[in-house]
Chain A
Amino acid sequence: MNSLKKMLGVVWFLLGPAIIYLLVHSAIANIDLNGKSDINKPIPWLIIILVFTPIAIGLMIFGYYALKGEYDKLPEE
């Protein structure tokens, strides 16, 4: 189980930048100043990218910790 946790740590680590890439890519594709929907407005995208960047970094740190075996044994167990 612990080796699976470590291996998946790589996935979580890579998922962080992938999320940011996906968000920026979607923002570029959908922002349209003539559009009326929220997904066409720049402000929601700006806010979402702004709040998701630290979350994505958090996911990378989580992945790094998992890779290093920090979650192999939790303090409560």
Chain B
Amino acid sequence: MKQNELIPQSNIWKVISASSVGTLIEWYDFFIFGSLSTIIASKFFPSANPTAALLSTLATFAAGFIVRPFGALVFGRLGDLIGRKYTFLLTLVLMGGSTFLIGCVPSYATIGAWAPFLVLILRLLQGLALGGEYGGAATYVAEHAPANRRGFYTSWIQTTATLGLLLSLVVILSIRRLVGVEEFTKGDGWRYPFLLSILLVGVSIVIRLKMHESPLFAKLKSEGKVSKNPLKESFGNKANFKMVLLALFGITMGQGVIWYTGQFYAQSFILTKCNVEYEQANTIILISLVLATPFFIIFGSLSDKIGRKNIMLVGMLLGVLFYRPLFDKIYTTCAPAHKTEVVAERQFSEKRALVKGSTTDSLITYDTTKVYSDGSHYKITKKVTIMGVVGVTAPPAEIKKEMIISTTDYWTLVFLVGTMLLFVTMVYGPVAAFLVELFPTKIRYTSMSLPYHIGNGIFGGLVPFVATLITTVKGTDHLSGLWYPIGVAALSLVIGVLYVSNKTTTED
């Protein structure tokens, strides 16, 4: 039976909106933790405490690398056993509850070691929920969509990861402005984006509760053909397992690194390597995301006509070829060395004060602001501690650099990041339809979730770690970290070109 015989077309938009809103909120929940990680670390994981530092490392690495794929297995299995609707309702409750509770946990200063422990547990639950959500939403939409329009309809689900990041940035920047930077970073202002989640999730749960089970799954269930053991049938059956491996190595591995590099590494690169001011950096990403988002739909729709493989592999190829030149252009656009300073406008100030809580140690703050001919401002703040007691070693000087770029440079960066996001939309727009079509209905949720989360969570999530690792090698520069996503995408590209067929449709 074909889906278009089952579903009135007017209902498909209800299905898409119910699924997309929930998935968007899950991404929002997952991303606000990442975006606020520096503040969260200062509140819950003080680096001076070894246990808290260890828990911080676990929260960063275990949530993405272990728990997400584990969530894919747990909820994928459940989704193939009891149905898509109730499973992705459960992941939504789990995600929303964990996010809200992170906003409620008292800080390390209040309850000590319980604070990082509780935040770690809640972060792991977030990872678990995310692992289960995506496959459910993609499967649910695909099983309602007509076979010849799956790419178009599932691409709405694909926009949610980007829109979730966009929403998280908008909420964070708005609340930061509303309560003030001081209250946001040092007070409780950072908690509001987490607390807000409960409202968003509440609305989404109400919408999802009104939806019906996927028609294809409902049919399987009525015929008694539901899988008895989805894990065994997905990974113990050679015919299916080889498709899981093909999906992972031929597509999702490369898609994951292209996605992560364009969407997240670019943001971190602009902030930390180019030292662009916080709000400028984030609004650059924000505008680029808004401009790029429609292309998820365009490429998803195009994949219905010319095939999923072609579009995704071209996206990978463009990333392989252009990531280094694009990142290099971003770097040179912001680098002070490539600008002409107006020396007469240079400002310098020096401020001396006692170190907080000390009667003998002094803190000297040197502020230098350089102005460039294109209108950019570069502020360097150096804080030096002078110990009052002889023989006591002073902590190393703190240096903070901040570049406020000119309007022209700002829009150049929007264009460059937007171009990278275009590659992201090419690899990510058609991927849900591709994965759904690779596997039969009865084990679809389980089979597609695992390669997706290994590709995005593990291969994608490793980008910052491996990038740092590469820069430890002698002779490397600020762009060397890109060899990891380029290498992985190139490998996936070769496997994809050789082994993946351009359009695979599984009719049930």
Contacts and interface: CB of A to CB of B under 8 A. Distances in A.
Asked whether A and B interact, the reply is yes
A75 B472 CA distance: 45
B504 A39 contact: no
B295 interface: no
Interface in A14-54: 26, 30, 36-39, 41, 43-44, 47-48, 50-52
A5 B69 CA distance: 28
A48 B498 contact: no
Contact of B504 (A37, A48, A66, A76): A76
A37 B468 contact: yes
B249 A62 contact: yes
A75 B66 CA distance: 31
Contact of A75 (B57, B239, B454): B239
Interface in B445-488: 454, 458, 462, 465, 468-469, 472
B57 A61 contact: no
Contact of A71 (B242, B472, B506): B242
B61 A55 contact: no
A62 B57 contact: no
B65 A48 contact: yes
Interface residues of A, number: 32
Interface residues of B, number: 36
B384 interface: no
Contact of B57 (A30, A38, A50, A52): A38
Given A12-B249, A38-B57, A62-B245, A44 B465 contact: yes
A8 B498 contact: yes
A67 interface: no
Given A12-B249, A38-B60, A48 B465 contact: yes
Contacts of A44: 57, 60-61, 465
Given A30-B472, A38-B465, A70 B242 contact: yes
A49 B30 CA distance: 24
A51 B498 contact: no
B191 to A, nearest CB: 26
A5 B499 contact: yes
B505 interface: yes
A52 B472 CA distance: 21
A43 B58 contact: yes
A39 B469 CA distance: 6
Contacts of B454: 55
Given A43-B57, A76-B504, A38 B249 contact: no
A25 to B, nearest CB: 12
Contacts of B69: 51
Contacts of B54: 43
B364 interface: no
A12 B253 CA distance: 14
A62 B62 contact: no
Interface of B: 47, 54, 57-58, 60-62, 65-66, 69, 238-239, 241-243, 245-246, 248-249, 437-438, 454, 458, 462, 465, 468-469, 472, 494-495, 498-499, 501, 504-506
